[in-house]
Amino acid sequence: MNLNATLFAQLLVFFILAWFTMKFVWPPIMKALDDRAKKITDGLAAADKAKTDLALAEKKVVEELRKARESAGEFRTSAEKQGGVIIDEARVEAARIITQAREAAEKEAGAAAQRAKETLRDHVAQLAVAGASQILRREINPQVHAELLANLKRELS
Amino acid sequence: MATGHEAAAQHAPTASEYIVHHLTHLNTSGHAQNVIVDWGLFNLDTLFWSILLGVLGMFLFARVASKATSGVPGRLQAAVEIIIEMVNTQAKGIVHNAESRKFVAPLALTAFVWIFLMNAMDLVPLDLLPLAWQTATGNEHAYMRVVPTADLNGTLSLSIGVLIISLYYNLKIKGIGGWTHELLTAPFGSHPLLMPANLALNLIEYVAKTVSHGMRLFGNLYAGELIFMLIALMGASLSASFTGVSLFAGHLIAGTAWAIFHILIIVLQAFIFMMLTLVYIGQAHESH
């Protein structure tokens, strides 16, 4: 428990070591610690942001899928509707064509029958004239008896 | 170089001689210091071991600091960071001045690391380094103490260093006028008749703080070392008798127990010294 000049030497050593620590040990370590703290903060913030972004993206994906499904449904409905319209139109058109064709055919048939009737009437008139002339034994002038013949034709029709 | 007890030359040392020899410093006088205070002497062993440990410790820290990365730290860097972070946290809680902390926190770190290393010399087998020194010098009575904090010079120099720094911050923060005013008026009041009492109490407080600061560390380590010596004396009594064998077994058990307990002491005392350093310097920043 003796005191001697060691005390002063130790005092000096203590201050030199403290100065050395202040100069060369403390600042670099503190800087490293602060930088790391900043890095970790930034990393956590980035992770949070990524999480938010992911959630947003997922929400968007769901929304887009829903939209796509909706519009596909719309497409199908309108296509079905349009298809129905086209079929209906075609049906109407077909019916119209059929009716037209039938009418034309009937008209044609009517005309043909009329023509045949007229021809037949002519023949019959001639036959009748020929028969009558034979019966009367005298020639009937067609120009003179045209009215008579026309009347006869009318009666036959 | 120093010589030991001349009387011990011819026979194995007695218990008392063994302990006295172990508690004597190797100094520049060539013999044991025989007066309480002698400002003409240096304790060579204290100087050697404390400077060696201080330089080693600070070199290690500086090496880690120069390679410090803000990325993933290695184990050594992580260990250094834990210590520095601990000191920094304490400094922030006690010294409320960021500018002062630039010096005070590294000072506290130095005190903690240096004192821990010096205290840790207590765990080196008691006779190993003295014996090596005696073998090296060829003088079987050469003195060598390896625990610088078990030397009052070593611990009082640290506490006086802390005192000087706290006086410096008193002056810096409060100014010569403010500090003088505080010394004269705190704690009893500003009545002129109370000024001598205030001043006396403040001076006593500074002396008491400094002496107790240094003495606490010294006392713990000195006592610890002494107990290691007493334990070593048990082992030295090994003989063929039942008592001899029992004492040897006692050495093993007590030595182990005390060394394990001492791991706590050396860290705790270094920590207490560091905390009081911060507290005393922190007080210099606060007005009464």
The closest CB to that of A2, out of B36, B54, B160, belongs to B36
The SS3 assignment for B27 reads: strand
Residues 32-91 (A) with a CB less than 8 A from some CB of B: 32-36, 39
**A25 contacts in B (CB within 8 Å)?**
58, 61-62, 65, 84, 106, 109
pLDDT score recorded for residue A1:
64
The residue of A12, A20, A25 whose CB has the most chain B CBs within 10 angstroms, and thus the best one to mutate to test that interface, is: A25
Q: At what angle do helices B242-284 and B98-120 cross, to 10 degrees?
A: 170
**A41 contacts in B (CB within 8 Å)?**
none
Number of domains in chain A: 1
What residues form DSSP beta bridges with B27?
Answer: B43
Residues in chain A, total: 157
Spatial distance between the Cα atoms of B116 and B79, rounded to a whole number of angstroms = 15
In this structure, how many other beta carbons lie within 10 angstroms of the beta carbon of residue B82? Answer: 10
Domain that holds residue A139: 45-156
Return mean pLDDT, chain A.
89
Question: H/E element holding B37?
Answer: strand B37-38
Domain boundaries, chain B: 14-283
The pLDDT tens digits of the residues spanning B221-232 come to 999 999 999 999
> pLDDT-derived band of residue A140, with 50, 70 and 90 as boundaries?
low
Spatial distance between the Cα atoms of B35 and B32, rounded to a whole number of angstroms = 9
Which residues of chain B are under the pLDDT cut of 70?
Answer: 1-11, 288
Question: What type of residue sits at position A104?
Answer: A
What is the least distance, in Å, from the CA of A43 to any CA of chain B?
12
Answer for the pair B105, B37: CB distance below 8 angstroms, yes or no. no
**Is A24 part of any domain?**
no
**Is A38 part of any domain?**
no
**Is A112 part of any domain?**
yes
**Is A135 part of any domain?**
yes
The closest CB to that of A5, out of B42, B73, B160, belongs to B42
Helix and strand counts by DSSP (H, E) for chain B: 8, 1
The pLDDT tens digits of the residues spanning A47-98 come to 999 999 999 999 999 999 999 999 999 999 999 999 999 999 999 999 999 9
The whole-number average pLDDT for the span A39-46 is: 94
**Is A11 part of any domain?**
no
The pLDDT tens digits of the residues spanning B66-98 come to 988 888 888 999 999 999 999 999 999 999 999
Say which residues have a Cβ less than 8 Å from residue B76's Cβ, sequence separation at least 6: B64
